[in-house]
Amino acid sequence: MPDLEVEYLGLKLKNPLIVSSSGLTSTAHKVRSLEQSGAGAVVLKSLFEEQINYDAGSLILDHDYPEAEDYIRNYTKSHSVGNYLDMITEAKKTVSIPVIASINCISASDWVEFSRRIEEAGADALELNVYFLPVDKLVPAADYEKIYSDIISRVTGLIRIPVSVKLGNQFTNLPGMVERLYALGSKGVVLFNRFYEPDIDIENLKITSAGVFSTESDLSHVLRWVALISDMVGRIDISASTGVHSWEAVVKLLLAGADTVQVCSLLYKKGIGEIAALSGGLEDWMKRKGFGRIDEFRGKMSYKNIHDPSVWERSQFMKYFSGVH
């Protein structure tokens, strides 16, 4: 029987399958169901800085006393964080698998100090889900990227539990960014985040939301960067996310160098029973190939471990598709 155990952020997982931050992980009861379905770990639904600030601003608008603003803002933050801390504590009492908290950050403001309370509540690790839209044309790109550095340096300076950063895929130099995050104390990165995307209802002339779920075609982009980052910044753990809709995708990401694989959209579409199908497919494949442990093949197809590493590079597009008209 193949051993599916892996290590991620210094935590022992019974298998590499992590249920990513979503409504699927929003209560301790749901987390318990995911453990029973075979998940190796869970990332709790994110605590959103943006939502906290919005809620506080809405309450402030309802009051005529400017001196009440600080009280309202601090109360809203404390109330939101308090509910989140309770969920962490309850989840840790309910399950034995690692419970990773998640903060959705848009700034390095004072509220990140709540990360210390997240540690005290018992979270095994913290995933920082960082994203903001760089829309000010007068702000240099380096200034935007510095926000990531500011957030991670502040959080790692506050807590002792391991921290990972969930990144978007739009960086000028992704390996350089991951290297900086590692230097600032991040133990891992999640590649990649999915963000809200707008769409247009052409009949009603309204802005709507585009599809929120990933598709199988999203996997190829993740696969490339996992293969590259796992070698270029080999000291940092990688959790692959987006486009995971089959056990074959799990195998591919592990071969590319991922330490763990996060899944979400598939579970929304087909149910949490798919976790067992993913782990079962992985186990059967390992049996057929004669692998006893995941470490025996993890990274076997990464950038430095294949005969021609240039196949992972963007510049090969014209070489392979120049005959397509």
Reported as a single tens digit per residue, the pLDDT across 32-76 is: 999 999 999 999 998 866 555 444 344 333 444 444 334 334 434
| Residue matched to tokens 């800085």 | 49
Confidence of residue 152 (pLDDT cuts 50, 70, 90): very high
Q: What is the CATH number of domain 6-321?
A: 3.20.20.70
**CB-based contact 79:55 (threshold 8 Å):** no
Q: What confidence category does residue 29 fall into, taking pLDDT thresholds of 50, 70 and 90?
A: very high
| 83-87, 288-292, 316-320: range with highest mean pLDDT | 288-292
Confidence of residue 171 (pLDDT cuts 50, 70, 90): confident
**3-state DSSP assignment of residue 46:** coil
In this prediction, residue 170 has a pLDDT band, given cuts at 50, 70 and 90, of confident
- Which residues neighbour 183 within 8 Å (Cβ) at sequence distance 6 or greater? none
CA pair distance 59, 69, nearest whole angstrom:
9
Q: Check whether 9 has a pLDDT greater than 80.
A: yes
* Contact predicate 278/263, CB 8 Å: yes
**CA dist., res. 278 & res. 144, Å (int):** 37
The dihedral over CA atoms of 273, 277, 278, 284, expressed in degrees to the nearest 10, equals 160
Q: What mean pLDDT is predicted for residues 172-183?
A: 94
Q: What is the pLDDT at residue 70?
A: 43
Please report which helix (H) or strand (E) contains residue 191, including its range. Answer: strand 188-191
3-state secondary structure of 92: helix
pLDDT at 10 over 50: yes
Cα 274 to chain center, whole Å? 19
Higher pLDDT, 193 or 281: 281
Q: Above pLDDT 90, what percent of the chain?
A: 64
Q: pLDDT averaged over the chain? A: 86
Residue 318 vs residue 15, higher pLDDT: 15
Residue by residue, DSSP assigns 273-319 as THHHHHHHHHHHHHHHHT-SBGGGTTTTTSTTTSS-GGGGSGGGHHH
Residues with Cβ within 8 Å of 214's Cβ and at least 6 positions away in sequence, in order, are 194, 242, 243, 244, 245, 264, 265
